[in-house]
Amino acid sequence: MKYKIESVDEHIKEKLKDPYFKELHELEHQKLGLVKKIISYRVNNNITQDELADQVGVTQQHISKIENCEFTDPVTLAKVLLFVGFRVHMKAEPIRPVTRKKIRRVIQKLAMA
């Protein structure tokens, strides 16, 4: 059996046609942008995760999780970003009804799997 070999970029481009995947992909891209700001601050100031954590008033584990894009607590993230010089701005934007229907179908399929 012969398989078609795709590049990662081609695969992502195809997956981005799915509105649910596209929204989650964009969120991950935004998270990565936040993480880069924190890591850049640490590198530019030659400090460890422990030192940053002490200065901000959080644990080193919080800093580690944030730098690995594993954060669910917006307050802790905001504290760290404020310390390194950035303000967090969160907003929820409505999506088109057609897109919302497509996303709901995908989520329902995932829930049934």
Q: What is the pLDDT of residues 15-30, one digit of tens each?
A: 999 999 999 999 999 9
**Mean pLDDT, the chain, as a whole number?**
91
The total domain count for the chain is 1
Residue 27, domain member (yes or no): yes
Q: Please report whether residue 74 resides in a domain.
A: yes
Is the predicted pLDDT of residue 2 greater than 60, yes or no?
no
Per-position b or e across 32-68, b if 16+ CB within 10 A of its CB: eebbeebbebbeeeeeebeebbeebebeeebbebbbe
Q: Is residue 82 part of a domain?
A: yes
- Among 28, 21, 30, smallest CA distance to 90 is for 30
Instruction: Identify whether 1 is part of a domain.
Output: no
For 53-108, the DSSP string reads HHHHTS-HHHHHHHHTT----HHHHHHHHHHHT-----------HHHHHHHHHHHH
Please report whether residue 81 resides in a domain: yes
Task: Tell me whether residue 5 is in a domain.
Answer: no
- This prediction has a pTM of 0.78
Asked whether residue 4 is assigned to any structural domain, the reply reads no
Span 41-59, pLDDT tens digits: 999 999 999 999 999 999 9
What's the pLDDT tens digit per position in 55-84? 999 999 999 999 999 988 899 999 999 999
Give the CATH number of the domain where residue 84 resides.
1.10.260.40
Q: Is residue 80 part of a domain?
A: yes
Domain containing 82 equals 15-112
